[in-house]
């Protein structure tokens, strides 16, 4: 009997996970906050619609037969982990799947004994309606341990195939910190610019955006290096351009947050870089400008 997958929230990435679990015939349930309507439909990139039929969620405490996937916004994590702390056993595996940084610290504080994994994805997804998600850009998902756990090897063999089914292809990373910085860089470049200019990701391929993209990449790489993570600005820019191309038709999550007047993840993205840069005495004017401009909207 495979682990039951518990997916939190009703966000676009959670929707992709639910559709993936369903297509692979894995037992899953979706836990939404308050009165929010549950997700019902997920349209794949070929236009085919999966109607979600999750198992009903019950109030039983999750155990080692469960996997809790937390595809929430960075700023929702603290509240969610505090809420779930008492609803999971110390051996329930938890996967945090969000943009930006801060998840490791929160998990260490609130669920220090649990096996916690981090995931970061470059799939594009959009909520078309309260109950409908569309897969808008093919990507991949990096997965690794958030911090040391004695059963890390066993966990990998159990959790990686489940995540592969939910939101694959999955690439296992022993250096998850580097993977997080690489994804952080992509979000620092794409998210604020698309939100400020009110455009789809693909628009950023226009040459007029190149100097800003390059400056963001250089600043993030300098900061990452000061934090002990090697990243090269030229290949970073290439990675950003590849994601722009692969998700050309997608509105970034920050664009959507601004468009729907929701809080953004700017503090966990460019804000995180600005904070780390300040600590290391590095000047990051373009990331600072992005942070202030988004906050001013
Ligand atoms: O936040 C997002 O929108 C996504 O992480 C990405 C990869 C930038 C694609 O839109």
Residue 37 per-residue DSSP state: P
Query: Residues enclosing ligand 1, CB less than 6 A?
Result: 99, 122, 124, 186-187, 190-191, 201, 243, 247, 250, 252-253
pTM higher than the cut 0.75: yes
The pLDDT tens digits along the chain (297 residues) read 668 999 999 999 999 999 999 999 999 999 987 777 889 999 999 999 999 999 998 888 999 999 999 999 999 999 999 999 999 999 999 999 999 999 999 999 999 999 999 999 989 898 999 999 999 888 899 999 998 888 889 899 999 999 999 999 999 999 999 999 999 999 999 999 999 999 999 999 999 999 999 999 999 999 999 999 999 999 999 999 999 998 898 899 999 999 999 999 999 999 999 999 999 999 999 999 999 999 999
Question: What domains does the chain contain, in order, with CATH numbers?
Answer: 4-173 (3.40.50.720), 177-296 (1.10.1040.10)
**Catalytic site residue 183?**
yes
- pLDDT value, residue 221: 98
In contact, 283 and 209? CB cutoff 8 Å: no
Q: Residue 251: its pLDDT value, please?
A: 92
Best probe residue, ligand 1, of 253, 257, 269 (max atoms within 8 Å of C-beta): 253
Supply the pLDDT for residue 1.
Answer: 64
Instruction: Give the residue, out of 100, 186, 202, 269, with the most ligand 1 atoms within 8 A of its beta carbon, to mutate for a pocket test.
Output: 186
Residue 161: its pLDDT value, please?
97
Q: Which residue's CA is the nearest one to ligand 1's atom 10? A: 252
Q: Ligand 1: distance of its center to the CA of 253 in Å?
A: 6
Contact (Cβ atoms closer than 8 angstroms) between residue 196 and residue 203:
no
Instruction: Give per-residue burial for 226-238: e unless 16+ CB within 10 Å, then b.
Output: ebebebebeebbe
> Which pairs count as long-range contacts for 132-135, CB under 8 Å and 24+ apart, including other chains?
132/39, 132/40, 132/41, 132/42, 132/43, 133/12, 133/15, 133/16, 133/19, 133/39, 133/41, 133/42, 133/43, 134/42, 134/43, 135/16, 135/19, 135/42, 135/43, 135/44, 135/45
Ligand 1 midpoint to CA 122 (Å):
6
């Amino acid at each position: 009997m495979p682990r039951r997958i518990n997916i939190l929230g009703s966000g676009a990435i959670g929707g992709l996970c639910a559709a993936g679990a369903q297509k692979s015939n894995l037992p899953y349930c979706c836990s939404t906050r308050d009165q929010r309507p549950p997700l019902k439909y997920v349209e794949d990139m070929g236009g085919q619609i999966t109607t979600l039929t999750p198992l009903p969620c019950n109030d039983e405490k999750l155990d080692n037969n469960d996997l809790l996937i937390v595809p929430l916004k960075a700023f929702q994590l603290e509240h969610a982990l505090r809420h779930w702390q008492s609803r999971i056993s110390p051996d329930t595996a938890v996967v945090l799947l969000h943009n930006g940084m801060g998840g490791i610290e929160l998990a260490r504080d609130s669920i220090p004994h649990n096996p916690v994994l981090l995931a970061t994805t470059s799939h594009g997804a959009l909520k078309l309606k309260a109950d409908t998600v569309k897969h808008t850009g093919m990507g991949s998902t990096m997965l690794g341990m958030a911090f040391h756990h004695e059963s890390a090897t066993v966990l990998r063999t159990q959790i990686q195939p489940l995540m592969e089914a939910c939101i694959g292809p999955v690439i296992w990373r022993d250096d998850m910190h580097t993977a997080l910085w690489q994804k952080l860089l992509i979000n620092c470049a794409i998210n604020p610019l698309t939100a400020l200019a009110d455009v789809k990701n693909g628009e950023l391929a226009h040459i007029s955006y190149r100097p800003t993209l390059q400056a963001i990449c250089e600043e993030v790489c300098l900061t990452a290096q000061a934090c002990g993570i090697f990243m090269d600005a030229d290949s970073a820019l290439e990675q950003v351009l590849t994601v722009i191309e692969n998700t050309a038709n997608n509105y970034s999550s920050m664009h959507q947050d601004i468009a729907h007047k929701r809080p953004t993840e700017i503090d966990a993205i460019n804000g995180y870089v600005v904070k780390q840069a300040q600590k290391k005495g590095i000047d990051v004017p373009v990331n600072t400008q992005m942070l202030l401009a988004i906050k001013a909207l």
